[in-house]
Structure 1
Amino acid sequence: MTKQRSRVKQARILRIFRKIHRTMGAFLFVFFFIVSVSGILLGAKKNTGSFILPETQSGQTSNFEEWKSIAVLEQIAQQTLKDSVSSSLSSDIDRMDIRKEKGIVKFLFEKHIHEIQLDGATGEVLSIGQRRSDVIENIHDGSIMDDYLGTGGYFKLIYSVGMGIALLVFTITGFWLWYGPKKLRKTGR
């Protein structure tokens, strides 16, 4: 009788896990789809021929003593944006990515996805491109909704933690859906 109770209990647990797995899968399908597709794109961003992320160029020297000042490089980047991309775009700098070993500075702007790469020593424009990877990353981690709703990072926090918990629950229930029947067959012998 104990063996029979054990089988019944294992079968009940298996049904519960199957229901949790199925229900969560149906409820979170769209979110998992978005996270997986955006994750694939982010994983491939450096291998898309500069479509998702502009290729990092190389400057003349990595010696900072030979570089122009950051203020001068910033002016060049802002002027290049106005002259070569659009004078109507904001020239406010979001961040600068200094690649000393490559001898370049990447200028990224606040309100759009353009990037300008300059040679640190000469100020020569090495690349003007679009960082589609930033948009994809914002979709992937939920930041795009934070920006849209103005929630100050709370949507991203809830979204990221929720997706992490959902993935953990999917892993546990999925494992049990694979292992449970094996265990059930073993106890039936």
Structure 2
Amino acid sequence: MYLYCPLTYPKIMPKFTKRQRQAKWLRIFRKVHRATGAALFIFFFIIAITGLLLGWKKHSGGVILSKSYEGTSTELKHWLPIDSLHTLANTYLLENVSKELSTKIDRIDIRKEKGMVKFVYENHLWGLQLDGVTGKLLHIERRYSDLLEQIHDGSILDNYVGTSDNQIKVFYTTIMGLALLLFTITGFWLWYGPKRMRKK
């Protein structure tokens, strides 16, 4: 027999409804969490692997990123002008790697403490290290770290397609950043929600 108690029922009903709402939100968060993980699994995997390798690039024994070689002097007054070093770098690149390579510069890294200047090119992964004083070629490297960075942030697609202002990179990083934020929030609630419900 079911006994209806008008004094206690109003107190029980709100708690039961609130618990239902919490359970409903948990189900929604679980679906969102599962759908996000399934839809973006491959991208999360790529970001994790490339991020791990980039974190280890200076400890890879020169495989991912070559060590910085030392030049003759750390005194800039003894160095050759940058335009002369640039001309020498382009000459070394074309003579030692391939005459077909582009000489368009991405950046020039001056390592004063090493007495060395590093030339990094835009349209390929080759880089050169030159003695700042003599202009002597210290090292030619394949910059796999740059390739990993391009894969990590999606800019490799901008390079392939030839976009004007890294639009693919901006879109990719925005989507993945928001997805990771959503993944974190729903994951936390899936852990904390049941604990909160049990306490009540």
Shorter-chain TM-score tier: over 0.9
Q: What residue number does 2:16 align with?
A: 4
Give 3-state SS (helix, strand or coil) of 1:53's partner. coil
Provide the C-alpha distance between the structure 1 equivalents of 2:198 and 2:139, rounded to a whole number of angstroms. Answer: 63
Question: Within 5 Å, which residues of 2 pair with 1:1-189?
Answer: 1-152=13-164, 153-187=166-200
After TM superposition, the structure 1 stretch with the greater mean CA deviation from structure 2, 104-113 or 172-181, is 104-113
RMSD over aligned Cα, in angstroms?
A: 1.2
Give 3-state SS (helix, strand or coil) of 1:139's partner. helix
Amino acid at match of 2:140: I
Give 3-state SS (helix, strand or coil) of 1:137's partner. helix
4+ residue segments displaced more than 6 Å = none
The alignment of Structure 1 onto Structure 2 pairs a total of residues equal to 187
Identity of aligned residues (%): 53
- State the Cα distance separating 1:167 from its structure 2 match: 0.6
Provide the C-alpha distance between the structure 2 equivalents of 1:95 and 1:177, rounded to a whole number of angstroms. Answer: 46
User: Is there any run of 5+ residues in structure 2 with no aligned partner, and where?
Assistant: 1-12
- State the Cα distance separating 1:5 from its structure 2 match: 1.2
Q: What residue number does 2:4 align with?
A: none
Provide the C-alpha distance between the structure 2 equivalents of 1:92 and 1:159, rounded to a whole number of angstroms. Answer: 26
User: Is there any run of 5+ residues in structure 1 with no aligned partner, and where?
Assistant: none
- State the Cα distance separating 1:88 from its structure 2 match: 2.3
CA spacing shift, 1:179–1:140, aligned 2, 3 Å: same
- State the Cα distance separating 1:8 from its structure 2 match: 0.8
TM-score (norm 1): 0.94
Give 3-state SS (helix, strand or coil) of 1:98's partner. strand
Q: What residue number does 2:7 align with?
A: none
Provide the C-alpha distance between the structure 1 equivalents of 2:154 and 2:29, rounded to a whole number of angstroms. Answer: 28
Amino acid at match of 1:98: I
1:17-68 superposed Cα distances (whole Å, 9 cap, x missing partner): 0000001111111111111111111111111111111111121222111001
